[in-house]
Structure 1
Amino acid sequence: MADFSANTRPFAELDRAGRTRRLRRLAETALTAYAVPVARLTPLGRGANTTFRVDGADGHRYVLRVQRPDGPDVSRVRSEMRWLAALGRDTDLVVPRPVPTRERDLVTVVADPAVPEPRTCVLCHWVEGRFVDERLRAPQLYAVGAFTARLQLHGSRMSGLDRGRVDDLTDFGRAQVDGFSDAVVERAVAAADGDPRVRAALERVRAVRAELGCGPDVFGLVHGDLHQENYLFHRGGVRATGFDACGFGHHAYDLAVTLDALGPRPALREALLDGYRSVRPGTATTDPTVLAAFIGLRRVQRRLR
């Protein structure tokens, strides 16, 4: 017998499957904002947001993302979509291509009585490819490195977008003018129970950030979360998804995320850097000391969030 009590339980008490069922109805409402004939809607299990594969009656496939309530606000999600749209216009890099609504907006906000708060939704064209992890090979990481460099070159030319910093330590740091002020660092160290290793890591990255500066050769709009679950391969080429964490930061931070996720696989790590240097040779971004400092920052962020 079906458990009808699940329909009346508070949203916060539901497991992931239960929340997805509630959000499916919201997703169906969101899709009415688009000129896309929907044949089938299938939940996808990847990522912090709730996503659905949309099979269109037009033969095309899409992804609908229902933004988590504690994620970027509407303005920042719209800016993410603007960057993706610009990448589609200006480059041959394969990334999700936003689908505008009937009103020509890149986002839609939808409310449903069964969900506590309105949700920001976006629709993008499906990116074909396969994710690889343990079977990653050096040529693939070389391609990821070159892709990352080209993505950063384009991001350095983007302006006027409402996206935050990728190197924010905590919610408190995100709300400050200087996300690495003494007050922010002290709160971060306290949140880590006073661990001296956290303080040392933050002091190292503060010094590196100050030395690098924020010129377009080392700083700009970056993906910010390019690990194995956000890059995929198709017919020998690399593609990227998962841009919801994109923001402004040092290019070395972007590389550090990918390196840290690879773990102790030196051949893959070196291939990544070789691919990057094939597009952007001679940059301070690939200096080992710089990368080590940003890897330390990434690990502190993961510990504190």
Structure 2
Amino acid sequence: MSASGGDPVHQSFLAHAQFRWAKLALALCLLSLVAYLWHQPVDGANGGTWLGYTLGGIGAALILCLLWLGVRKRQYRSRLGTVKGWTSAHVYLGLSLLLIVSLHCGFQFGLNIHTLAYVLMVLVIGSGLWGLIAYDRLPGRITRLHGGGNREAWIEEVLDLNEQAIGLANALSPEVHSRIVASADKLQLGGGLRAQLFGPRRKQGGDGLRESLEKRIAQLRSGPSRGAATAPGEQNTVMFMAGQLRQTAGGEQEAAGIQKLLDLLAHRNELVARINQDVALHARLQLWLLLHVPLSLALLAALVAHVFSVFFYW
């Protein structure tokens, strides 16, 4: 496929070869369904009939072929189809397994290795769909978030802003200095699995913080009162600094120093929020693999046990 200017147009693997694998999977499902409706065994549909064995063999063959994708992706010189074609087949044939394997067992389930294999197959397919949706939506959000930047540069800038903030705080007061140092120590980038997926529990800043600070500073500067200082432990660092600005008696020079420090804190917190959002998006992008691959291996083991038990104990 090419655009009017002659340049090739990117084509999703889902539409590979004009949806070849989607058509094949649909045809396979229709044939299986027609055979299932036509076949009327005396004991009812089950995996022990000739059709049950046939559909079971097709399902097992499909599972083994789909598991081979992980190997094919690393065979860079292989001529056995393209990775895009294999991925397209992986998606559509994987979805067809839901119907084919259900027809294979005649929708009969119980507390046994056969149903365990079926459940694992459903979980593998579900995690694969999750990955498909994630890779369709999250990369665009990551690109927009980066905007030409990258996480390593943001982290370096956060460290530099911390040093600048501590340097400015040294010139103000010991109380301000201790507050800024404590704030820098409490910053959390990434963390455990929950923090990576959803961000740290403690809010560390975000969009619109600079605007809200500017409004707050304007209110504080226009206020006539100079009440007692608020204890640092009762407010977050930004609001504590806003309170310091209201109480300053050192003239415009000290007020300008506090203003600059507030701007540094606002920018730092925005960067921290951006870093944690970037970590969360990448974690969500990779989480499905942590489920999909182990579940696929468990499915393979259950499939072997299922086939072994059928041919050696039934």
Structure with the greater relative contact order (CA < 8 A, sep ≥ 6): 1 or 2? 2
Superposed pair shares fold, TM > 0.5:
no
TM bin (shorter chain): under 0.3
Q: TM-score normalized by structure 1? A: 0.20
Q: Which has the higher helix share?
A: 2
